[in-house]
Structure 1
């Protein structure tokens, strides 16, 4: 459920990466995989994988979300796998969102656009969506990289 950039910074051993924004495209592969073994969905904190589990359940695919995500896994002393070669230094999506949102709010204050920015943040909270994370996930450093694996 993580972006390829996040996945490359460390993931559960044996994990296959399907970012949340590509979940629909991977439904057939996920349905097939779920028939062979239980699916464990993982993201950085557990929030995106929880949303993905709900989406998959609505499509008849059973899956479980790892509470606490890779942060919780690593904090509990479990190892993270890394792709071969140098580790790409990519900020976590949450950090990218905070930086971009803060920059936009600051720019909005300077340009007098604060009301529209605040409205977007309220809408994001009410709908429990993050359009900014979707946009940031499509930037080059968050796209397919060495650590991104296609489902089998």
Structure 2
């Protein structure tokens, strides 16, 4: 769960905040899960979870003709969304450097909802609990510690590949899903603010 490095297609929180203050706010697509979005998001942003964006990118293209800034927690999912939309032919894409975490650190405005644990914290809780439990059980059951070893290997792979299977699994839980944004509603909102 690392941040995406700055690139030609990225935008710093300070630069985005300046655009907002000047009244030149680009389209802000937040590709996090609905629960994450409800907890904290940039005012005026649209929640289009990464899976929904990938599935409906052709429908979204017709309503994203100006500059678009993609937002997630740290920048990794937004970079994936940038790739998906670029492959579909949308040219004016940027990723918010450091995601909502960097935006909040810069003391930029945020709409807040009910407090929720972010995905990274949930992964740490589940992985740590499994390792702790299998370590304790391993005192009495030979080989139980290997489950913890497998979790450690998975976390190492997640860091190297910048992906997280446990995070994907946890995102499927009702706590993290919430109501999925209806693509027709998102498109209607995009159309009404054109």
TM-score by length of 2: 0.66
Q: Which residue of 2 aligns with 1:32?
A: 62
Deviates more, 1:20-29 or 1:94-103: 20-29
Higher strand content, 1 or 2: 2
Residue deviations 1:45-101, cap 9 Å, x none? 22221222123223323321101211222222221124xxxx322111111111112
2:56 is paired with a residue whose SS is helix
Q: Which residue of 2 aligns with 1:65?
A: 95
Q: Which residue of 1 aligns with 2:130?
A: 104
1:33 is paired with a residue whose SS is coil
Indicate how the Cα distance of structure 1 residues 89 and 149 shifts in structure 2: closer, same or farther if over 3 A, else same. Answer: farther
Partners of 1:3 and 1:20 in 2: CA distance: 8
Partners of 2:129 and 2:52 in 1: CA distance: 27
Indicate how the Cα distance of structure 1 residues 149 and 40 shifts in structure 2: closer, same or farther if over 3 A, else same. Answer: farther
Q: Which has the bigger relative contact order, CA under 8 A and spacing at least 6?
A: 1
1:88 matched to 2:114 = yes
How much does 1:149 deviate? 6.6
Q: Indicate if the aligned counterparts of 2:54 and 2:81 stay in contact, CA closer than 8 A.
A: no
Q: Indicate if the aligned counterparts of 1:17 and 1:149 stay in contact, CA closer than 8 A.
A: no
1:6 matched to 2:36 = yes
Partners of 1:76 and 1:149 in 2: CA distance: 31
Indicate how the Cα distance of structure 1 residues 139 and 55 shifts in structure 2: closer, same or farther if over 3 A, else same. Answer: same
Q: What is the CA RMSD across the aligned residues, in angstroms?
A: 2.2
Give unpaired runs (5+ residues) of structure 1.
none
Deviates more, 1:1-10 or 1:21-30: 21-30
1:60 is paired with a residue whose SS is coil
TM-score by length of 1: 0.82
Partners of 1:17 and 1:27 in 2: CA distance: 14
